[in-house]
Structure 1
Amino acid sequence: MGSDILVYKFGEKCVATADGIDRIVDVVRDTVGSGWKLVVVVAAIEGVTDSLLTLCRYSELGIEGKIEEYLDLIRRTHSSLVEKALRRVESRESVSKRIDKVLEDIKSTLYTCLKLREVTPRARDYIASTGEVLSSIIVASRLREEGVEAVDLAGWESGIVTDSRFGDATPLIENSRVEVSRRLKPLVDRGTIPVIAGFSGATVDGSITTLGRGGADYTATILAACLDADEVCLWTHVDGIMTADPKIEGKARTIDRLSYEEAVELARFSVKGLHPRVFDPVISKGIPVRIRNLFDKSRQGTLIGPGKPEIDRRIVKTVVLIRDVALLAVEGTGMVGLPGVAAKVFEALGRAGVNILMISQSSSEANITMVVDRSSLDKGVSALESTVTGSLVSSIYYEPDVCIVSVIGAGMRGTPGVAARVFKAVASKGINVRMIAQGSSEYNISFVVKEEDGEEAVRAIHDEFRLYEA
């Protein structure tokens, strides 16, 4: 892009230990020493956001003792890190006071919610966003100890403007561009390194919002787009995106390069916790995104970038296993030829807050089969039973013990016989496929099998397409 700006995001395991923070300092100094301007985005320490959301639930339930217990746990987690990561007494004292102030502020909000037995979406986002704020305070302080001019900022202080869909807000890119140029760009231009708390932004009227799962990654790409950055690097604890989960397939290897299109398919299935919209801000700008291992800088990781999808002899790039899902189907001859039935099914599930991961419908129109999060199965069944059963739907069927296997690669598009090879490999292991779906892009074939068969299916496909070969 020619701006000489890089955006680095450091993940939850990178900021969780003194060793990780020391490595962050080394990377930042090396990058700045090479002449780059830099913006840093940090995640919350692993488990902290979950603890904050648990605090919200305890406030709604009126369990005061648990509020104190979890706040103390969060305080001790960060206090321990401060003692190990910061070298100077004055730094430790200053940061400890700031951490105490942040926790006292959310404690006050939690007790207000406790009295009302209600946590509004606005309050939940404010509370949930504080984990990243605490990380940014510590990391910025450690950088200053090493003589690096750094300032910590919350996501909303950096200029990210969103809509008011609390919990899963969408950035307003043009508004954000104006605010980031006004607030962040002057700091970057004078050589100051902003350490941004990821995961959050603010509405036009200043209410704090969160960007949904993987929101710190999303923060990084939003800022990169607003600053016309040259590259985004998502620093994590893994070598990049793999051909399969190495815990399932020991021969899995790191993929050197993916197209945006392939990466978007992966993000839809939560691979490595990527936000499903993480690439949206950078695609139109052609800004590449690299995923690297902070704890092994000798590896270049996976580069995700513009241009035509890279098609190589492997055809398939990666095989993904998605657990904790359930099959949910509606059946009935009353559905045949009647417009609007599918819309009623999806509307009922949407009102109940059930996210649909996959959809398949028989050509007879007498069956619609879906895959949903397993945690949402009960409320999905209840929603359908109360709205669509009767003359249209005669039965509701579900299976809680299934998983999705997704086969992804740009080389699949227009290549005859890929599906045949996938299902032949699975059948050779005696595995029955319960449901199949493929998008029009042809970059992805997904199917459902019993949970006990998922890992074997991944290994069979990995071998069939020889994904272990470099």
Structure 2
Amino acid sequence: MKLVMKFGGTSVGNASRFAEVARIIRNFHDDGHQIVAVVSAMAGVTDLLLSMAKKAINDEEYVLRSLSLLKDKHIKACDVIANPKLRKEIKRYVNDLIAQLKVFLKGIAIIGEVTPRMKDYVLSFGERLSAKILWAKLIDLGIKSKYFTGWEAGIVTDDEFGSAKPLMDLTEERVKERLNPLLRKGVIPVVTGYIASTINGYITTLGRGGSDYTASILGAALEVDEIWIWTDVDGIMTADPKIVSNSKTIPILSYDEAAEIAYFGAKVLQPYMLKPAKDKKIPIRVKNTFNPKNSGSLIADVERMRKKGVVKAVCINNNVSILTVRDLDPRSFKKVLKLMEKLAEGSVESILVSQSFPEGSFSLIVPKTKIKRISEYIREIGDIKTEWENDVSLIAVVGAGMKGTPGVAAKVFQSVAERGINIRVIVQGPSELNISFVVKQKDGIEAVRAIHERFNLGETDGQN
């Protein structure tokens, strides 16, 4: 098979993990598979780089300390390389790249600002370091391999720095031209995840979870047989195993089900990464680098799976707040429309919870991380009466089989009511793949457990 394999930050978290990833790639390569490896930054590195970019202007001590940590982390990872000459070469590469970053951060301090383009340049260093180390380890094992940044592999994006989108026609043309000849020769391209560039050569990032997006883009361009997302869990689960002890891996689910589960809180995938693969009907498999023999979860074009299990998963998101706008009248509606425009312009995702025309009010669910920005918008507009409710959890019950199946909502709400949990609001939305609602945060975990139990999601056959 022709495969794209993406390895996340925990999968390459230290020297021993790099060694394990290299062994996984070698084993599948030895079995005759053509493989493109996509690599995330080492765990914690992207957040560290982001902090450095933000503090470069006024905290030189923090930046110098962070640069030292960054260098030490990657130099230690280089010890996975047995060949002394190659190990020395890669350590020199790490030192050179850290030196480049140091110079750039000094430039930020002198200029006194960090533009989105500058931030993307800083963030690119994580994947450029980790992918080079994995490439070196494959060479160390005697495997033919070639290192690529995302743009060298052919990914071209628009100039929305921080959340760039691929120009797929041009990207497909370039990726096929650059990677297919290598695959036919048995060479493994190792490609940086998360980063690409504009047509003018400016480095861009693909948004949080962008390495998954890179894998999907490359998989679609190369029309591979499958895309494998290697992470630190056994696949997409029926619920968060940290709160439901008998949660199970979902063996197979549709693209739309996976997107809903990702949107409502599962951290395994980002919803937007599914589109390139879905457009080409390329299956995506989520696997565990710590348990590579487990088959994981398969995401595919599977209408037939509607009949097997009405509900697939229960998700919880505690990182949300409810914003209620009250006492609306015809004059204030214009200001509310202005607020909605600002939310859209600022890429602040929101979900309509409820609206009451007699009371002149409506409510939105928004990310807690955006409260400060939204409050600034409200102050700028002025004369809008608002209330915040922060101690809430958003619960989502997901499954394609719910469409057209009577009684599912009643079963969901009854299971929650039997535990003495009050539903704060029911979320309104166009999707027929989920039933979602809000409860007090203290009741969130118990609500998930109640629904998981009622629909028998802990049973191995997945029937409910």
- C-alpha separation between the residues in 1 aligned to 2:278 and 2:314? 24
Q: What is the CA-CA distance between 1:147 and the residue it aligns to? A: 0.6
C-alpha change, 1:179 and 1:457, in structure 2 (3 Å) is same
Matched, 1:371 2:365: yes
Matched, 1:426 2:422: no
Paired residue for 1:49? 46
Q: What is the CA-CA distance between 1:37 and the residue it aligns to? A: 1.1
Q: What is the CA-CA distance between 1:350 and the residue it aligns to? A: 3.7
- C-alpha separation between the residues in 1 aligned to 2:422 and 2:451? 14
- C-alpha separation between the residues in 1 aligned to 2:290 and 2:163? 31
C-alpha change, 1:175 and 1:364, in structure 2 (3 Å) is farther
Paired residue for 1:268? 263
Q: What is the CA-CA distance between 1:363 and the residue it aligns to? A: 5.1
Paired residue for 1:19? 16
Q: What is the CA-CA distance between 1:186 and the residue it aligns to? A: 2.1
Paired residue for 1:33? 30
Q: What is the CA-CA distance between 1:266 and the residue it aligns to? A: 1.7
- C-alpha separation between the residues in 2 aligned to 1:386 and 1:335? 19
Paired residue for 2:284? 289
Paired residue for 1:436? 426
- C-alpha separation between the residues in 2 aligned to 1:274 and 1:117? 35
Q: Which amino acid aligns with 2:34?
A: K
Structure 2: tracts of 5 or more residues without a match:
none
Paired residue for 2:157? 162
- C-alpha separation between the residues in 2 aligned to 1:404 and 1:193? 42
C-alpha change, 1:437 and 1:341, in structure 2 (3 Å) is farther
Instruction: State the secondary structure of the residue aligned to 1:206.
Output: coil
User: Cα deviations across residues 116-161 of structure 1 (Å, max 9, x unaligned)?
Assistant: 1111111110110110111111101011111101121111111001
- C-alpha separation between the residues in 2 aligned to 1:149 and 1:363? 66
Matches within 5 A, 1:68-467: 68-83=64-79, 85-308=80-303, 310-312=305-307, 314-335=309-330, 343-351=337-345, 354-362=348-356, 364=358, 366-387=360-381, 389=383, 393=384, 395-467=385-457
For these two proteins, the number of residue pairs brought into alignment is 460
Instruction: State the secondary structure of the residue aligned to 2:56.
Output: helix
Matched, 1:66 2:56: no
Runs of 4+ in structure 1 off by over 6 angstroms are none
Q: What is the CA-CA distance between 1:365 and the residue it aligns to? A: 7.0
Q: What is the CA-CA distance between 1:181 and the residue it aligns to? A: 1.9
C-alpha change, 1:370 and 1:223, in structure 2 (3 Å) is same
Greater mean alpha carbon deviation, residues 10-19 or residues 248-257 = 10-19
- C-alpha separation between the residues in 1 aligned to 2:251 and 2:357? 40
TM-score, scaled to structure 1: 0.94
Aligned-pair identity (%): 40
- C-alpha separation between the residues in 2 aligned to 1:408 and 1:238? 20
Instruction: Work out whether residues 265 and 316 of structure 2, in 8 Å CA contact, stay in contact via their aligned partners in 1.
Output: no
- C-alpha separation between the residues in 2 aligned to 1:297 and 1:354? 37
Q: What is the CA-CA distance between 1:298 and the residue it aligns to? A: 2.5
Q: What is the CA-CA distance between 1:341 and the residue it aligns to? A: 6.1
TM-score, scaled to structure 2: 0.95
- C-alpha separation between the residues in 2 aligned to 1:38 and 1:168? 27
User: Cα deviations across residues 414-457 of structure 1 (Å, max 9, x unaligned)?
Assistant: 11121111111111122222222243331011111111111011
Q: What is the CA-CA distance between 1:246 and the residue it aligns to? A: 0.8
